[in-house]
Amino acid sequence: MPASDLVNLSGLMDDAKCFALVRQHRWPEGVGCPGCGSPSVIRDGCDDTQPHRQRYRCKACASRFDDLTGTVLAGHHQPLRVWVLCLYFMGLNLSNRQIAGELGLAVSDVQAMTEQLRRGLAAKMPAVELTGEVEIDEVYVVAGHKGQPEEVAKRGGSDGAAGWQARRDAARWRKTSRQSLA
């Protein structure tokens, strides 16, 4: 029996804190306009159907945007709390099928979500540039496939690198979330 039959985790999530988490993650230095980058931004009410989704207006270029504009979370049917849970489960290395079971979603929907999350939360944000001394956490080298297909799939599988990136994102989110909930 999936755990979701016992506890509906999504129903216990706090929408306000989910949006606060996104804001903290994408704008750690304060809200900036995704169009022109200006920090000269004023709040402009909230989304009509999602009361915790803050809208903004840029005083420099007059463009309007909100918490999710320019992220993979924008324009999707699933509420933000479902995306946050999905990212969390990805960090626990759950399969798409397991995540689908926990969230009560179709596997195909979850597959689409995890693919998008692996490509990066904020698809249109500039790539991070590494400078100075860089430390790599883990490197898996697959020496041979013989007799160990599970190990190969687990460590060097087709989306190994992408999965690693997703786990890093998820870990960072959990860290941020702990800080914001503290």
Binding site for Zn ion (CB under 5 A): 33, 35-36, 38, 58, 60-61, 63
Q: Report the residue number, 19 or 56, with the smaller CB distance to Zn ion.
A: 56
Q: Report the residue number, 42 or 139, with the smaller CB distance to Zn ion.
A: 42
Amino acid sitting at position 56: Y
Nearest distance in Å: CB 33, Zn ion: 3
Nearest distance in Å: CB 70, Zn ion: 12
Nearest distance in Å: CB 174, Zn ion: 31
Nearest distance in Å: CB 73, Zn ion: 20
Q: Report the residue number, 33 or 73, with the smaller CB distance to Zn ion.
A: 33
Alpha helices in the chain (DSSP H): 9-12, 15-26, 80-91, 96-103, 107-118, 149-156, 160-181
Cβ neighbours for 125, distance < 8 A, ≥ 6 positions apart: 26, 70
Q: Report the residue number, 32 or 79, with the smaller CB distance to Zn ion.
A: 32
Q: Residue 35 and residue 68: Cα distance in Å, rounded?
A: 13
> Structure tokens of 73?
């979370």
